[in-house]
Every structure is written in C-alpha cells, then in structure tokens.
C-alpha cells in the first residue's frame, strides 16, 4: 500500500528525517514549509495524508488543520499533528481543530509508520466513495459532496466493552454526557450486540480479564455488519505494542490510560463525524443508483432498468421452460391532454396512470416507463391468456374513474391501448417486444381503448 504524504514543517532537518523514513516504506512524499503552501497543495488534490508541525511561524499547525477540515475539498484528508507538546490541553486543542492523531517529538518511527498505514487504508475507502459520489454529482444525479466537519459528532450510539468496573464507570459517565452508551462486560456477548445493535462506535478495552481485546476488534472487523463501524481501543501506557498491532488490524483510534475526559469526548466526536460522512457518501451512491434506474416522474423503473433486466428474465424463463408474457401500454390521445390542459396536467395523468397499473399487477411483475406515454409490464410465469385477462383488468381500471388534474380542480377521462405477446420459444427479448408492439398497433387501429394479443 502506498500513499502521498505531505510533510509540513519549517525546519529542513525535520522534513528530511520524515522524508527518509516514509520514502523507505515506498510512500510518495511532498513537503511544504508553511501552512499556506500546505493548504494550496492539499486543495489541488496532491496528497492523501498531511503530517503537520504545530509550531510554525505565521499560520500555525492548529489553524492550518482547522482550515483543511473546513474546506469541502480537503475536509476528508487525514491530518497528523507533529508536536513537542504532549499535555491533554494541547491534544484537545488539536482534536477540536479536526486532527486525526498526534505524534510527539522525538518521533517514534514504528508509531509513525503504523499510524500512516492505518490512515492510508481508511483514506482509500473514503476516496472510492467520494469518487463515485462526485461522478453522480457531475452527471446531475446528486448535489455536491458533503463537508465532513458539518456534523457535530454528538448523540452517537456507542458500545463500550470493558469488564473493569472502576474503568467502565468513569467512561460511561463521561460518554453519557453526549451520547447513548451501552456497556457490555462479556466480550462474546459484545460481539453479538455489535452485530445486532446498530452502533455508531465500539470502544474496546485492551485490558479485558479473560479475553484478548484485539481478538474482539478483529472479529468485529471480519463481520460484514460491523466491518465499517469505527473501533476505538483503550490501552494501558505500557501496552505500546498492543496499540501498534491494533492499528494494523483496523482499529481507527486509541486512547491511553489514564483517559482524559475531554480527549475521550473529542476523539469520539471525530470518529462519529467520519462514520456519518462515509454513511452520507454511501447514501448518495445508493440514491444515484436509484435515480439512474427509476423514472423520476412516476416512480416506476425506467428504460435503462428494463434493458438490463429483460434479457435475463427471458433467458431464465427459456432455461426453465416457463412462460413469460409482456404487455406494452400506450395512453390514448395523450398529446391532446398536453395540448389542451398543459404539460403539468399531462404529468399528473402519468403519475396516476402508473399508480393504477401498480394496483393491478403482481409484485413479481416488472413495470417500466419506456418514455412519453408508453409503459411496459413484464410478467414472469404468465401465459398469454392470463396476461390478456390482466391487461383487460388494467384497461378497465384506467377507464373506470376520471383522472384528476390541476390539483384535483378538473377531472378528465383517460383510456389506454394495450398489446400483449408471450415468449413462445424465443430467447431474444427484442422479438417478444416486437410482437407486443405489433399487437399494440392492432389495438390502436381498431379504435383504441382495447387489449390485443399477438396471435401469430
């Protein structure tokens, strides 16, 4: 795994040291000597992780980090603050600025590489989600990318796994000020709760009495339902190797005992913001997929969905020697509706028309809008005579009640012409569509408002 690391420090010796260690591990390294240059490089998308010195003239590391996290183009970038300051108040200030972690001078090389590799793995996942979401936005399917720091990181659902009463009581009391906390003292039970509970964050004690806390972390990472849930490890000061191993296993963050109350709350907020950011990107991706295959006006599937699903449905019916029928529906004189009452009225008719069809067909049937006033219904395991009866039921349902337009102020009659064909022995969906289309023209030529089945 590689990543582009931006090292920001006004002292050349510090930059050279970090460049040497990171380059030896096959990371690509860029450098900047001040905060403004760092902001410019990051905004250009030229780095994946920022190693940021705190004490710099002009724009210091805290302010640079704050600006990175407040810009939508860089808010997702992991930032590690490098500092000689190691007091809880200093860490809290950095966390409140949005920093993902701290490295204290003199830098521990093993800790440096473990943390960078851990953040690089997470960055790859977020980048993929951002790329897909950005593609959807550029195609007009979504709004622009969200800002990670736009969430307050509060009111999370947290599972705390700790079997030491003296420790767990303090952690629960602190977390309960801002979040909903569930305490579990049995690691195996915690695994079940983690899977079923829908938690936003799991905090695991690294000092469980009869169980390896890292094994629990590994199990949570291996299960699909908890794979993306942030993990925060609470370790004792002497368990440095446990922290490093945890980062390799996929632990997102860690705290060292004795746990500082404010640092705990700050780190939890950061993890919740990251999770909600990733969740929002997932939602945007799912929404864009829906928009790509759903007709926005009527809420039914569109032509693109039909094109990707019709052939497999015909093929499956042919392989199983099962019947399959298809009907094409065309609203009669729809152009007259638009010309007489306006296109808004036409849209209202289309929405009601689709709703009435859905009220007649089965859940297994596929309803799509081909475009304009044409719709199609694909009916698996349906013979031609049964399809004809369903078509007649649709025709009667459409014709039975007037269609409201102009918000219900006006009612107009609407009828539909339908053409039906079955699969026969064909494996080519184009042939079935062609026969149904011919049957539709029979309905139109014979006076409309009728159902015709392909009889050839």
The catalytic residue positions are: 373
Chain-centroid distance of CA 117 in Å reads 24
- Report CA-CA distances (Å) from 60 to 16, 52, 63, 69, 266: 20, 9, 6, 14, 20
> Phi then psi for 370, rounded to 5 degrees?
-75, -30
| Token output for 59 | 């724009």
The Cα–Cα gap between 320 and 111 comes to: 59
Q: Please answer whether residues 52 and 10 qualify as being in contact, where contact means their C-beta atoms are separated by less than 8 angstroms.
A: no
The Cα–Cα gap between 190 and 182 comes to: 10
The Cα–Cα gap between 302 and 297 comes to: 10
Q: At what angle are helices 303-319 and 261-293 packed, to 10 degrees?
A: 80
Q: Given its phi and psi angles, is residue 155 left (phi above 0), alpha (psi -120 to 50 degrees) or beta?
A: left
**DSSP-assigned letters across all residues of 249-310:** HT--EEEESSPPHHHHHHHHHHHHHHHHHHHHHHHHHHHHHHHHHB-TTTSSEEHHHHHHHH
| 3-state SS, residue 179 | coil
Q: To which residue do tokens 């007091």 refer?
A: 87
Listed residue (14, 11, 77, 64) closest to 37, CA to CA:
64
**H or E segment to which residue 426 belongs:** none
């Amino acid at each position: 795994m590689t990543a582009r690391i931006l090292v920001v420090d006004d002292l050349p010796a510090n930059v050279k040291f970090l460049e040497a260690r990171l380059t030896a591990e096959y990371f690509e390294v860029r450098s900047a000597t001040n905060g403004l240059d760092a902001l410019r490089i990051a905004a250009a998308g030229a780095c994946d992780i920022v190693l940021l010195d705190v004490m710099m003239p002009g724009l210091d590391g805290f302010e640079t980090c704050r600006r990175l996290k407040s810009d939508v183009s860089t808010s997702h970038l992991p930032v590690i603050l490098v500092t000689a300051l190691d007091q809880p108040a200093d860490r809290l200030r950095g966390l409140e600025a949005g920093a993902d972690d701290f490295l204290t001078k003199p830098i521990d090389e093993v800790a440096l590489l473990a943390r960078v590799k851990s953040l690089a793995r997470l960055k790859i996942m977020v980048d993929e989600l951002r790329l897909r979401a950005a593609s959807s936005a550029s195609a007009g399917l979504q709004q622009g990318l969200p800002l990670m720091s736009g969430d307050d990181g509060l009111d999370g659902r947290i599972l705390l796994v700790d079997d030491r009463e003296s420790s767990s009581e303090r952690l629960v009391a602190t977390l309960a000020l801002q979040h909903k906390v569930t305490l579990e003292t049995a690691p195996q039970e915690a695994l079940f709760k983690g899977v079923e509970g829908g938690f936003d964050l799991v905090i695991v004690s690294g000092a469980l009495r009869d169980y390896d806390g890292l094994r629990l972390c590994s199990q949570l990472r291996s299960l699909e339902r908890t794979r993306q849930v942030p993990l925060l490890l609470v370790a004792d000061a002497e368990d440095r190797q446990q922290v490093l191993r945890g980062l390799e296993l996929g632990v997102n963050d860690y705290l060292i005992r004795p746990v500082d109350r404010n640092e705990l709350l700050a780190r939890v907020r950061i993890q919740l913001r990251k999770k909600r950011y990733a969740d929002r990107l997932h939602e945007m991706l799912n929404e864009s997929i829906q928009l790509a295959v759903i007709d926005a006006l009527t809420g039914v599937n569109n032509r693109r969905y039909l094109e990707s699903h019709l052939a497999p449905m015909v093929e499956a019916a042919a392989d199983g020697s099962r019947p399959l029928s298809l009907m094409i529906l065309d609203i009669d004189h729809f152009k007259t509706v638009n010309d007489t009452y306006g296109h808004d009225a036409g849209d209202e008719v289309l929405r009601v028309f689709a709703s009435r069809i859905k009220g007649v067909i089965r859940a297994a049937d596929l309803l799509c809008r081909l475009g304009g006033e044409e719709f199609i219904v694909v009916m698996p395991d349906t013979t031609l005579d049964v399809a004809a009866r369903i078509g007649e039921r649709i025709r009667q349902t459409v014709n039975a009640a007037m269609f409201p337009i102009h918000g219900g102020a006006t009612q107009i009659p609407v009828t539909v012409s339908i053409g039906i064909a079955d699969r026969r022995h064909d494996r080519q969906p184009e042939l079935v569509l062609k026969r149904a289309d011919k049957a539709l023209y029979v309905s139109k030529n014979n006076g409309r408002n009728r159902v015709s089945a392909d009889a050839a």
